Amino acid sequence: MKKLYYLLFISLILFVSGCNSDGKGYELVDLDGIDTIYINNGSTNVHLTSTEDTKLETYYGNRDVEVNKNNNEIVLKVKQKWFHIGPKVNLNEKFQVSIPEDFSGKIFVNGSSGHITSEGLQTNNLEVKSKSGNVMINFANFHSDVEVNSLSGNVEMLLNTDKPDIDLKVKTASGNQVISVPLGVTSKQDENGMEGTAGKGTYKVHVKTASGNIAIK
């Protein structure tokens, strides 16, 4: 009988844990008065998009999202679980963040081993720091200052424009570089980096890696 009760107890824990793993994971955030968005993704993959809505949207089907406001700043973070019992759900799901396309402030993404990706992104000021995760930024209508620093992760940036207006600086210690952006003036170019401008050089695009490859297209 004790064995039966024990099995029922374990089954109940597994069931509850499996249900809890779905999580809420969805938040709508008012950005009125906010000029800086911090996204701390750590080892979690994060995917950025732009939205026509006026509020920021976050979704992670497996975990709740922690949202902290401090004066004119907002910090987004996936809540970490202390322990997990039972089957995990949505293991391949990304922490999705949709940012209003008319947001004119700064977006800062800080990760460790989590990959950082985007699609149809429209920003004015974007800074990304990553340790070993790859960074792939895909702009819809490029008009943004961008700074990316990575240790061992690869960095790829798609500007999606025939006439870029950028001040480009690319530097790597041991990674390869593929720069297919038409630069009007190239002030420096060697195996470790490149500097140049296109158009008036309005927007700064600075990418630095230690051992990761860099591609700007």
Per-residue pLDDT of the chain (217 residues; tens, 9 = 90+): 555 544 444 444 444 444 333 445 688 999 999 999 999 999 999 999 999 999 999 998 867 789 999 999 999 987 765 544 444 433 456 899 999 999 999 999 999 999 999 999 999 999 999 999 999 999 998 999 999 999 999 999 999 998 999 999 999 999 999 999 999 999 888 988 999 999 999 999 999 999 999 999 9
DSSP string computed for 104-153: -SEEEEEESSS-EEEESB--SEEEEEESSS-EEEEBSS---EEEEEESSS
Q: Residue 207 and residue 196: Cα distance in Å, rounded?
A: 13
Residue type, position 182, single letter: P
To 10 degrees, the CA torsion angle through 154, 175, 132, 138? -20
Instruction: Find the domain containing 84 and state its range.
Output: 2-216
What's the structural domain count of the chain?
Answer: 1
